[in-house]
Chain A
């Protein structure tokens, strides 16, 4: 798929942008903080409903506009898919709620009809690669969970719905546990939330299990190629709660279960029941501590080469190569499962790679229908690449086509 047009209003430093996108790869050139990354962020936001850079959506609204009382941002794009053209629009606005506290509201429209977050699934698929993605390997586990969630939600509607339910239920349940810890009350109020948590939680855990298996399957060969056959990357999923094997064990041995498969003779209902049972067992402890202690919000994923955990013992260079292999795997998997090319969004990532890895990354550009790249220094790209790409200069939230190759 590809995007045909993009318009932004009060998004980051774009007061107003109307852009038609050419068919060839796009190279956005400009200095730091001019808006190159924000443009990729906008496209990612339209695809997933979240920013890869901030958890506070309010920061996406242009600051000057907000000072002038225009507390909203609008994003719109036309996506040309294999079978149809869709228009996605998102509006972020800040307005006071019933208690007068300013709240951020997010409205989503697909083809001008209001939709929920989960309805975005399949509308616009992207693979984004940012320089800071190297943190995926060694950074905190929340980053890896978010990555899995964003990747799955783009193509799996059931997963997107379960994830939304799980997140809401978890927040409600934690609020209730805190209340029970501090003020007391009827613990039976937990029961309906436990059931909802278990029902959505097993879908989330199974989805991640399947995805990690798939990514691992694709990343292995890519990684071997990138390292001249020296190293074979493997991703391991360590669910916080796995009824098939207690958590203490999963850290010591990789999962034996086939990717996507349940252990023989185990159904989703069995998992749900086991999850519920665990919640009941730990209820007293959870009330004491005022939070939910079991569930996929505590899952972990590890990157391994042989016996080496790259997050703990990998060099910076190894971690960078692992992330590159991961993104290549994501692209291949999304193509396979969606039957369509995702849009490739590469932000400044060439700078930190050597010649061979640069070539591997740029070869991805030829495997997709649309690729959008950014660079402070266009010299990073070969002349041949610059000549076939469409070059744009980004300056202070304004984008202009470059007359000739720079």
Chain B
């Protein structure tokens, strides 16, 4: 028997399902919302609802978007002959921040990780190959993370892209090995983009 009403308990349990949040943090967040300014909980509820109902994946690049195609894919100013392949939507944010890239993106939604049960068919790889096959694309930049999984994914993609007579490049050195792209600073990322090397 718990001394807490079911609506409070349910939120604590739900918070606990999130990565990195234990029961203690979950309780703290719940009581913060319970005591805090009255519209915070409501704004949060609205934001959570919109997260699922208003967003979808872009049918071209598979980035998260509210309109399809996404703002980048539908921007006539962008260079449609270059595709930058990244693991996660946050990597797009990081590269956009550099203001040095004018091409399009392709979001894989992960990297090959056999130990974690992530294989090629779980990533947006077939979609990428179809995009490249359809013509326009002249260069594919492999901007997966400089980790062992990111390198593995890049090597696999390279083998798949090679027969498609397209230029394939990999981000240049300078990115901290083992790190995530999304945490790289703008100058490092700009240098890595400009120093990209042909594979």
Interface on A for B, CB 8 Å cutoff? 96, 98-99, 168, 171-173, 175-176, 179, 185-186, 188-189, 191-193, 195-196
Beta-carbon contact of A192 and B120 below 8 Å: no
Chain A residues near B115 (CB, 8 Å)? 171-172, 175
| B37 adjacent to chain A (CB < 8 Å) | no
A-B contact pairs, 15 of them (CB 8 A): A98-B20, A172-B113, A172-B115, A175-B117, A176-B114, A179-B114, A185-B119, A186-B121, A189-B112, A189-B119, A191-B155, A192-B156, A193-B152, A195-B155, A196-B152
Q: A219 → chain B, closest Cβ, in Å? A: 38
B46-67: which residues lie under 8 A (CB-CB) from chain A? none
Instruction: Select from chain B the residue with minimum beta-carbon distance to A188.
Output: B159
Q: Which of B114, B121, B159 contacts A172 (CB 8 A)?
A: B114
Q: Which of B19, B22, B119, B152 contacts A99 (CB 8 A)?
A: B19
Going nearest first, the 7 A-B pairs with the smallest beta carbon separation are: A192-B155, A175-B114, A98-B19, A176-B114, A172-B114, A186-B120, A192-B152
**How many A-B residue pairs lie within 8 Å, measured between CB atoms?**
44
Q: How long is the Cα–Cα vector from A189 to B152 in the complex, in angstroms? A: 9
Instruction: Select from chain B the residue with minimum beta-carbon distance to A97.
Output: B19
Q: How long is the Cα–Cα vector from A58 to B117 in the complex, in angstroms? A: 24
Q: B128 → chain A, closest Cβ, in Å? A: 14
Q: A165 → chain B, closest Cβ, in Å? A: 8
Q: How long is the Cα–Cα vector from A258 to B159 in the complex, in angstroms? A: 39
Chain B residues near A96 (CB, 8 Å)? 22
Q: How long is the Cα–Cα vector from A317 to B8 in the complex, in angstroms? A: 70
Q: How long is the Cα–Cα vector from A381 to B35 in the complex, in angstroms? A: 72
| B148 adjacent to chain A (CB < 8 Å) | yes
Majority-rule SS of B interface residues? helix
Given contacts A99-B19, A179-B119, contact A188 B114 (CB under 8 A): no
**18 further A-B pairs in the complex, CB-CB below 8 A; given A175-B117, A192-B159:** A168-B148, A171-B115, A172-B113, A172-B115, A172-B152, A173-B114, A176-B114, A176-B119, A179-B114, A185-B119, A186-B120, A188-B160, A189-B112, A189-B119, A189-B120, A191-B156, A192-B151, A196-B152
Instruction: Select from chain A the residue with minimum beta-carbon distance to B148.
Output: A168
Interface on B for A, CB 8 Å cutoff? 19-20, 22, 112-115, 117, 119-121, 148, 151-152, 155-156, 159-160
Q: B166 → chain A, closest Cβ, in Å? A: 17
Chain B residues near A191 (CB, 8 Å)? 155-156, 159
Chain B residues near A186 (CB, 8 Å)? 120-121
Chain A residues near B155 (CB, 8 Å)? 191-192, 195
Chain A residues near B151 (CB, 8 Å)? 192
Q: A178 → chain B, closest Cβ, in Å? A: 9
Q: How long is the Cα–Cα vector from A173 to B20 in the complex, in angstroms? A: 29
Chain B residues near A193 (CB, 8 Å)? 114, 152
Chain B residues near A179 (CB, 8 Å)? 114, 117, 119
Chain A residues near B113 (CB, 8 Å)? 172
Instruction: Select from chain B the residue with minimum beta-carbon distance to A184.
Output: B121
Q: How long is the Cα–Cα vector from A26 to B168 in the complex, in angstroms? A: 62
Q: How long is the Cα–Cα vector from A179 to B115 in the complex, in angstroms? A: 10
Chain A residues near B152 (CB, 8 Å)? 172, 192-193, 196
Which among A171, A175, A189, A196 has the greatest number of chain B C-beta atoms within 10 A?
A189
Q: How long is the Cα–Cα vector from A265 to B185 in the complex, in angstroms? A: 48
Q: How long is the Cα–Cα vector from A2 to B136 in the complex, in angstroms? A: 66
Chain A residues near B159 (CB, 8 Å)? 188, 191-192
Q: B141 → chain A, closest Cβ, in Å? A: 18
Q: How long is the Cα–Cα vector from A399 to B120 in the complex, in angstroms? A: 55
Given contacts A172-B115, A173-B114, contact A185 B121 (CB under 8 A): yes
Q: How long is the Cα–Cα vector from A365 to B162 in the complex, in angstroms? A: 61
Q: B98 → chain A, closest Cβ, in Å? A: 28
Chain B residues near A173 (CB, 8 Å)? 114
Instruction: Select from chain A the residue with minimum beta-carbon distance to B17.
Output: A100
Chain A residues near B160 (CB, 8 Å)? 188
Q: How long is the Cα–Cα vector from A168 to B155 in the complex, in angstroms? A: 17
Q: How long is the Cα–Cα vector from A168 to B113 in the complex, in angstroms? A: 11
Chain B residues near A189 (CB, 8 Å)? 112, 114, 119-120, 156
